[in-house]
Amino acid sequence: MLTVLIRIPAAVPVEEGLCCVFRGQPVKLQYQMQRQRRPTSHRVGLSNRQLDTLSNYYSPARQYIEIVRQDDPLRPRYGIALGFEFHDSITTFPYSPSRARLQFKDFAWGGVEFSQRDSFNFTGVTNDVSDDLTVRVDAFYGDTMVGRFSGLLLSGAGPMAQIDSGYFRVMLYRRE
Question: Would you place residue 176 in the very low, low, confident or very high pLDDT band (cuts 50, 70, 90)?
Answer: confident
Q: Which residue has the higher pLDDT, 176 or 48?
A: 176
Question: Would you place residue 45 in the very low, low, confident or very high pLDDT band (cuts 50, 70, 90)?
Answer: low
Q: Say which DSSP state 2 is in.
A: -
Pick from 98-102, 105-109, 147-151: least confident: 105-109
Q: Is the peptide bond before 94 cis (omega within 30 degrees of 0)?
A: yes
Q: Is 121 exposed, middle or buried (0-12, 13-18, 19+ CB in 10 A)?
A: buried
Which of 21, 133, 124 shows the shortest CA–CA distance to 78? Answer: 21
Question: Would you place residue 50 in the very low, low, confident or very high pLDDT band (cuts 50, 70, 90)?
Answer: very low
